[in-house]
């Protein structure tokens, strides 16, 4: 690639902390968080609990650790959790709930936009029978592959779960994206949700960390699960400070990422050979199969990175992508197909 700069559209996890965030991290007052004595961690946990409208919150190393701690706090060995078949906990978290907690997922269909139906939830709940696992938990997600699940949809699904005797966990790795897209605070999605996992290291641009929020008893169980999973950290306030900075400075700007994803989608729609979808800060592009590999080579040669799955590629806008980067990507696509 020579000296071409890299423009990285693979994920919003690739962002790098800027000088002001690093300064906040370096200056953070700290203590031993395993003893609950880190004041910056405690401040972050209290802040997120308030934003989510929950009693308590817990700082964890990652979204995967947070989701797993949540499932373990709701389910025992041999219990079952109901989940959309395209959701991250099911597909991309190494079957941790089954491997480490003995909890079994029961996937149900979801639409192209990630929506699942109340009827499918009801149908998935096991009847009392010694041959069956016990249905214990409903796992929701927002956003799903970038697609926003509206407030009323989450409320209806959570209410359905409770009507069926299930606890409800929301994987809200990008819930701030959903909230900004809907013009509401994150709490608007959470009245009927028991626990929510909120990533700081995706759209919000912190280098590490996720916060799990819920009632005190459930968060206490999750705290124990975090210890079992090796997630107890000592002077973690240096990491928590990045999350606090992100909450103060990087939430409202998520609308810029959404606008750039729309800019990208609009630019690519001019290429008739492509089919695409856009949701919040993600654009999914399906090129003709016969051009896929050559297109990937062309984009990489121009310093443009994405998740180049087949048949559909994913491009994600984020804090470290600007309008010029988007326009460069569109131009690379146009140049490739103009030459065909």
200, 257: one domain:
no
Q: What is the mean pLDDT of the chain?
A: 97
| Mean pLDDT on 149-162 | 98
Q: Give the pLDDT confidence of 171-222 residue by residue, as tens digits.
A: 999 999 999 999 999 999 999 999 999 999 999 999 999 999 999 999 999 9
228, 301: one domain:
no
120, 165: one domain:
yes
245, 228 in Cβ contact below 8 A?
A: no
Percent of the chain with pLDDT over 90: 98
Given this model, what pLDDT does residue 194 score? 98
Within-domain flag for 148: yes
Q: Give the pLDDT confidence of 319-336 residue by residue, as tens digits.
A: 999 999 999 999 999 999
Within-domain flag for 177: yes
The number of domains in the chain is 2
289, 311: one domain:
yes
185, 133: one domain:
yes
> If 0-12 CB within 10 Å is exposed, 13-18 middle and 19+ buried, where does residue 189 land?
buried
Count other C-beta atoms under 10 Å from residue 118's C-beta.
15
| Mean pLDDT on 232-241 | 98
How far is it, in rounded angstroms, from Cα 255 to Cα 252? 6
Within-domain flag for 76: yes
Percent of the chain with pLDDT over 70: 99
What's this model's pTM, rounded to 2 decimal places?
0.96
Within-domain flag for 203: yes
What sign for the dihedral angle of Cα 159, 164, 169, 173? negative
Q: From 325, 319, 313, 312, select the one nearest 281 (Cα to Cα).
A: 319
| Mean pLDDT on 50-65 | 98
Final residue of a domain: which of 220, 249, 278? 249
Bridge partners of 311, per DSSP, are none
CATH number at 273 reads: 3.90.1150.10
Given this model, what pLDDT does residue 5 score? 78
Within-domain flag for 3: no
| Mean pLDDT on 298-323 | 97
How far is it, in rounded angstroms, from Cα 190 to Cα 81? 19
Within-domain flag for 49: yes
Asked if pLDDT for residue 2 goes beyond 60, the answer is no
280, 243: one domain:
no
Count other C-beta atoms under 10 Å from residue 300's C-beta.
16
Given this model, what pLDDT does residue 3 score? 54
Within-domain flag for 7: no
What tokens were used for 224?
A: 């124990």
209, 186: one domain:
yes
183, 42: one domain:
yes
Q: From 206, 243, 168, select the one nearest 318 (Cα to Cα).
A: 206
Q: From 186, 228, 233, 213, select the one nearest 70 (Cα to Cα).
A: 213
| Mean pLDDT on 282-303 | 97
124, 267: one domain:
no
226, 301: one domain:
no
242, 279: one domain:
no
Given this model, what pLDDT does residue 340 score? 82
Count of residues for the chain?
340
Within-domain flag for 243: yes
187, 96: one domain:
yes
Question: What distances in angstroms separate CA 130 from CA 106, 127, 134, 137, 242, one per listed residue?
Answer: 17, 10, 9, 18, 48
Final residue of a domain: which of 233, 249, 265? 249
143 preceded by a cis bond (ω within 30 of 0): yes
Question: What distances in angstroms separate CA 207 from CA 49, 185, 312, one per listed residue?
Answer: 21, 23, 28
Q: Give the pLDDT confidence of 6-34 residue by residue, as tens digits.
A: 999 999 999 999 999 999 999 999 999 99
Asked if pLDDT for residue 151 goes beyond 50, the answer is yes
315, 329 in Cβ contact below 8 A?
A: yes
Asked if pLDDT for residue 4 goes beyond 80, the answer is no
Question: What distances in angstroms separate CA 301 from CA 4, 257, 297, 305, 332, one per listed residue?
Answer: 9, 25, 6, 9, 10
Final residue of a domain: which of 249, 269, 284? 249
- For residue 32, the enclosing domain spans 19-249
CATH number at 153 reads: 3.40.640.10
Question: What distances in angstroms separate CA 336 from CA 128, 243, 326, one per listed residue?
Answer: 58, 40, 16
């Amino acid at each position: 690639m020579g000296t071409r700069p890299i423009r990285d559209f693979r994920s919003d996890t690739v962002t790098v902390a800027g000088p002001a965030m690093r300064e906040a991290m370096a200056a953070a007052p700290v203590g031993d968080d395993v003893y609950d004595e880190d004041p910056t961690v405690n401040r972050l946990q209290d802040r997120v609990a308030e934003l989510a409208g929950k009693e308590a919150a817990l700082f964890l190393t990652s979204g995967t650790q947070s989701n797993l701690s949540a499932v373990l706090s709701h389910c025992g060995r041999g219990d079952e959790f109901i989940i959309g078949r395209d959701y991250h906990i099911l597909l991309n978290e190494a079957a941790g709930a089954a491997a480490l907690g003995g909890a079994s997922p029961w996937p149900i269909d979801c639409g192209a936009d990630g929506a699942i139906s109340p009827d499918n939830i009801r149908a998935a709940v096991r009847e009392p029978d010694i041959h069956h696992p016990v249905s214990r938990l409903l796992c929701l997600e927002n956003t799903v592959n970038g697609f926003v699940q509206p407030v009323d949809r989450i409320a209806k699904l959570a209410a359905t779960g409770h009507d069926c005797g299930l606890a409800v966990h929301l994987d809200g790795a990008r819930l701030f994206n959903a909230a900004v897209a809907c013009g509401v605070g994150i709490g608007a999605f959470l009245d009927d949700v028991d626990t929510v996992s909120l990533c700081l290291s995706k759209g919000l641009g912190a280098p590490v960390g996720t916060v799990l929020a819920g009632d005190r008893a459930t968060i206490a169980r999750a705290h124990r699960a975090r210890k079992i999973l090796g997630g107890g950290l000592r002077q973690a306030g240096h990491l928590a400070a990045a999350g606090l900075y992100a909450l103060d400075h990087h939430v409202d700007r998520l609308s810029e990422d959404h606008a750039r994803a729309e800019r990208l989608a609009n630019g690519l729609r001019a290429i008739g050979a492509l089919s695409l979808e856009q949701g919040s800060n993600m654009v999914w592009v399906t090129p003709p199969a016969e051009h896929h590999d050559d297109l990937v080579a062309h984009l990489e040669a121009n310093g443009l990175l994405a998740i180049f799955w087949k048949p559909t590629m994913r491009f994600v806008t984020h804090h470290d992508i600007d309008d010029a980067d988007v326009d460069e990507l569109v131009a690379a696509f146009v140049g490739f197909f103009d030459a065909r």
